[in-house]
Amino acid sequence: MTTQDKTQELLQLLTKAQDLVTDLTSSNTLDPKTQAHLTQLSKTLHQTLQPPVARIADTIQSPYQLGVLATALSANWLRHLHTAGPSGLTITDLASKSSTSPSLTLRLIRYLTASNFIRQLDVDTFATTPVTSLLTTSPGLSSGIHHAIHCYALPVSKMPEFFLKHGYDEPSGPETCLYSYAYGRSHWEATTQQPEIAKWFNEFMAMATFSMKFWGDVYDLEKLSIQIQTKPEDGNNEDGNNGEEGIMLIDVGGGRGHELEKFAKRKDKLGLKGKLILQDRKEVLEQVPEEWRGLFDERVVHDFFKPQEKKFWGARGYYMRKIMHDWTDGHCATILGHLRDAMKPGYSTLLINDIVVPERDCQLRTASLDLIMLTVCAGKQRTEKEWHELVESVKGLQIVKIWPLEESGESVIEVVRGS
């Protein structure tokens, strides 16, 4: 078989594969696991076919993608194209509606077209794709672009000089990470000082939470059923189990309550009893949607670097989602230590909803998430071995089981306190 014959056969196979992919994706018949596997295979094929020098050239030019997308959102180009629908807009009309330079508009739209974010209908006419239409209609995703351009782009550009200056060692905390090096303050400080930065972050996190599988899909929620106890005659309620209805779950650092809202609805369907407590900073709890507030028994201002109030001791469950990956091992040990002190041996369960990084064949998205945590707050994503080392470094705590949730490595880590 000649090279020409092989090339012709490959072209036929790829054309057929493209038709199959179009059919499967348009009918939404692919399950997420299969879709992720096929996507990875297609990326591997692309990288195998691409000459090394071309891949290096693509990498050199890659920083522009995020910047151009953020500009297109800020200039309202994507919104105007989405509103125009399938017929699209000419560059002249788009620039006029956006009050932008036609020449600049064309140059940046041309880049988005070459990147398959925009469709070119004619020499001077362009329309959105499903990706950019989604960006336009999803505040969480568009905020994600602005969050990324602020949090990642400038700090990452300083990565070589940062690690050279710090002896190629991991930063010790949010005050000494890449973000702080680039901006002169931590990301947590920035979110409290600049409402726009906080808005981008919170909207993006809300979207990310909404789009992910609910942890109760893999973890048996009935394991969190409370044991009803009679309230002591002296009225002492230091143990969260006491009273006619004990505390079923405390969402520690639970943000605006996205996960607790899902849990509350599932809890009612299962007929489970027990109080639900949402804990976070005051400014975060003030953002809890009005329609969710009735689902939570209490919204409590709490700093997880400090001990739990005694009235929250002995709850059936304590839950943390995407908290530990924000912090170094030392910070995490402090958080875990306070939760251990609040947990009742043989009764309380701590559920850590976070990523477990695979030891081999780690996906690019998962590896990138780890570097995001390194950049923004000196945090990290951990392997199963690292999770065991961290949790078991806190005397009395042990991991019972790790429940896989997403292809990205998102998992539920079940932790108990020994006697």
Cβ atoms of 404 and 411 within 8 Å: the answer is yes
- pLDDT tens per residue across all 419 residues of the chain: 899 989 999 999 999 999 898 888 877 778 877 888 888 889 999 999 999 999 999 999 999 999 999 999 999 999 999 999 999 999 999 999 999 999 999 999 999 999 999 999 999 999 999 999 999 999 999 999 999 999 999 999 999 999 999 999 999 999 999 999 999 999 989 998 999 998 898 889 878 766 678 999 999 999 998 866 544 443 434 555 544 479 999 999 998 898 999 999 999 899 898 999 999 999 889 989 999 999 999 999 999 999 999 999 999 999 999 999 999 999 999 999 999 999 999 999 999 999 999 999 898 889 999 999 999 999 999 999 999 999 999 999 999 999 999 888 999 999 999 87
Owner of token pair 């695979």: 358
Q: Any bridge partners for residue 126, and if so which?
A: 89, 120
Cα distances (Å, whole numbers) of residue 400 to 155, 211, 356, 410, 417: 38, 27, 15, 17, 10
Does 31-136 carry CATH code 1.10.10.10?
yes
Q: Count other C-beta atoms under 10 Å from residue 409's C-beta.
A: 23
Paired sense of beta strands 298-301 and 275-280, if any: parallel
Cβ atoms of 349 and 317 within 8 Å: the answer is yes
Which CATH topology does 214-417 take? Answer: Rossmann fold (3.40.50)
pTM score, whole prediction: 0.86
**pLDDT tens per residue, range 236-273:** 345 555 444 799 999 999 988 989 999 999 998 998 98
Rounded-to-integer distance, Cα 317 and Cα 223, Å: 9
Rounded-to-integer distance, Cα 378 and Cα 370, Å: 10
Q: Count other C-beta atoms under 10 Å from residue 214's C-beta.
A: 16
Owner of token pair 């409402």: 195
